[in-house]
Amino acid sequence: MLRGERGLEYPAARAARTVPGSDRSRTSQERSAKLTSFEQARLGAHPRLLLLLLARDSQARLADILSQVPATLCDKFQVEALLIDDASNDATFERATDMRRRGALPFPLEVLSSSVPRGYGGCQKLGFQYAVDRRFDCVAVVDCASDLGAANIEALVGPLVEGRADAVSMAPAPRSRERWATRLVGRIVRRRVASLHAGLRAYRVEALRNIPFALDTGGRHIDTEILVQFLFSGLRVVEVTPPYDGGSRGSTPSWQHIRDALRAVARARMQQMNLFYERRFDCAPQERGNAHYQLKLGFDSSHRRALAQIPRGSRVLDLGCAGGYFAQVLERERECTVTAVDREPLAPGVEVSDFHHCDLDRGPPDLDYESYDVVVMLDVIEHLRAPEEFVQALYQATSSIPELKLVFTTGNIGFFLTRIMLLSGQFNYGKRGILDLTHTRLFTFSTFRRLFEQDGFRVLHEEGVPAPFPLATSNRTLSASLLTLSRLLIRPFRRLFSYQMLLVLEPRASLAFLLVEAKAATAEREARVGPMTGT
């Protein structure tokens, strides 16, 4: 439970809005409030800056920290301060409340206190929500336990105002205990990281709206989690070095803080590799339709293997074309004539001979299947709500075309990594991969084969496909080595080391087709024999 005066109207702030002739009159304030980010500054209104002070047992330092806020800051921003007291054991709340009542500061101050300790991260999240609700433009976070004073706030928010960053952190060079962990975190997130815990941080509030910060930790490693979220969201993060005069180098993170930070970035990286999923790290920009599907022809993949099964110049039906990338390659490189089918439109710039809108969950498209030589359906069957019904309907449409060739691929739930995860009690869906969040059915080699055989198809060829290591690592030597090793392991242990499965099928002739064929053969034979004479 929090206590404080959330809706307090400060006299100084009220006067600034009502001074006659002021360029920040109430009318202009209301107009500029409708603008986003720092567009207000271009029209003469200063951006709104929230100073978020996180305090616990900070009674002795509080006045000194607030006095360090540069007086010039109020000339460039509409400054307000929010102090969140994390259930201090001293008189931090009382001291801050007294300063607010006396009007001792050149900007409004609001004080909130928690009845139970919520931690550094918990208080920071409350402050972020406050900034979002009050529609601030940016928020600067000051950790009252840090040696980095509020005197550096103006330099901290500079890149935000200039439009060069969405987040800025200021931290001293890491000490020996933290240095190795900082380098390791940087390698995992693939960018240089100055420190695991910055005493000063600033964010654009509009950027905070785009990340699920409410799901973050209540611990001190929330700074690391927010850094990962910003990077995953494609937001700009800038780190600046504080000016030092030979004084303190800042606080050193505890071993628990370092451990928690490393664990958080490791889980985030595993999610990028589609081995793990957590909602808090699912903050990449949402892609519409099939935009997130990638054409995998630059290495040994299901796409390359499927391409090898299609004769040059074939008439191809591509069911679930996912933007039409594979269909376009068939036409340009294999001289095929392709009909692409999907419920989403073709990707921009993709052109094929024919395209049909169709939701495959409602069954195969109503087309003349006799006009095709090959039907391909790559990594689609696992997305259907009722794949058995789809396969049965597809067989009914193709059972009279025994020479038709069908190529299907899907993921192998028996892949050794998913077996290890299950053995350890994990079965985590992700954004991509075998356990894609949009997958409704999962298959092993046996169940994938049986799906088609029980509805009348004959399996002509079956093979395992290695994992797409080049998508997981940018190191070409490493990815090539892993692909080679995977292919070697698939030969004796296909069910265990195949990441995907490929089946080449043909429809068995249906009984109705065989009956028609038998009648035609009988009529032909009778015509050759002619009438018979009795004795």
For 79-114, what is each residue's pLDDT tens digit?
A: 998 999 888 888 888 888 888 888 878 888 889 888
- What tokens appear for 247 in the block? 């004084």
Alpha-carbon distances, residue 349 vs 11, 323, 324, 352, 513 (angstroms): 59, 10, 10, 10, 42
- Asked whether residue 51 carries a pLDDT value surpassing 80, the answer given is yes
Give the whole-number percent of the chain exceeding pLDDT 70: 82
What band does 488 get if pLDDT is binned at 50, 70 and 90?
very high
| CA–CA gap between residue 242 and residue 530 (Å, rounded) | 105
- What tokens appear for 368 in the block? 């003349």
Task: Specify the fold of 37-281.
Answer: Spore Coat Polysaccharide Biosynthesis Protein SpsA; Chain A (3.90.550)
Query: Across all residues in the chain, what is the average pLDDT?
Result: 81
What band does 520 get if pLDDT is binned at 50, 70 and 90?
confident
The ranges of the chain annotated as CATH 3.90.550.10 are 37-281
* CB 390, CB 381: distance < 8 Å: yes
Helices 176-189 and 222-232: crossing angle, nearest 10°? 20
pLDDT of residue 173: 62
* CB 131, CB 205: distance < 8 Å: yes
The count of C-alpha atoms lying within 13 angstroms of the C-alpha of 492, restricted to the half-sphere facing its C-beta, is 3
| CA–CA gap between residue 507 and residue 455 (Å, rounded) | 9
- Measured in Å, how far apart are the chain's first and last C-alpha atoms? 111
- Asked whether residue 449 carries a pLDDT value surpassing 90, the answer given is yes
What kind and span of H or E run contains 452? helix 445-453
The count of C-alpha atoms lying within 13 angstroms of the C-alpha of 412, restricted to the half-sphere facing its C-beta, is 28
Q: What is the mean pLDDT of residues 257-281?
A: 78
Q: Which strands make up the sheet holding 374-378, listed edge to edge?
A: 354-357, 337-342, 315-319, 374-378, 405-411, 500-507, 457-465
pLDDT of residue 19: 35
pLDDT of residue 289: 54
- Asked whether residue 423 carries a pLDDT value surpassing 50, the answer given is yes
Whole-prediction pTM:
0.65
- What tokens appear for 340 in the block? 């692409």
- Asked whether residue 225 carries a pLDDT value surpassing 80, the answer given is yes
| CA–CA gap between residue 439 and residue 120 (Å, rounded) | 38
- What tokens appear for 408 in the block? 């299907």
| CA–CA gap between residue 122 and residue 119 (Å, rounded) | 5
The count of C-alpha atoms lying within 13 angstroms of the C-alpha of 201, restricted to the half-sphere facing its C-beta, is 24
Alpha-carbon distances, residue 157 vs 164, 200, 345, 352 (angstroms): 10, 10, 43, 50
pLDDT of residue 453: 94
What band does 327 get if pLDDT is binned at 50, 70 and 90?
very high
- Asked whether residue 324 carries a pLDDT value surpassing 60, the answer given is yes
The region of weakest confidence among 264-268, 292-296, 360-364 is 292-296
What band does 287 get if pLDDT is binned at 50, 70 and 90?
low
Give the whole-number percent of the chain exceeding pLDDT 90: 37
The ranges of the chain annotated as CATH 3.40.50.150 are 302-513
Residue 193 burial by CB count (10 A; 0-12/13-18/19+): exposed, middle or buried? buried
Q: Which CATH number fits domain 302-513: 1.10.260.40, 3.40.50.150, 3.40.630.30, 3.30.365.10?
A: 3.40.50.150
Q: What is the mean pLDDT of residues 421-433?
A: 80
Residue bearing the bigger pLDDT, 111 or 175: 111
- Asked whether residue 456 carries a pLDDT value surpassing 60, the answer given is yes
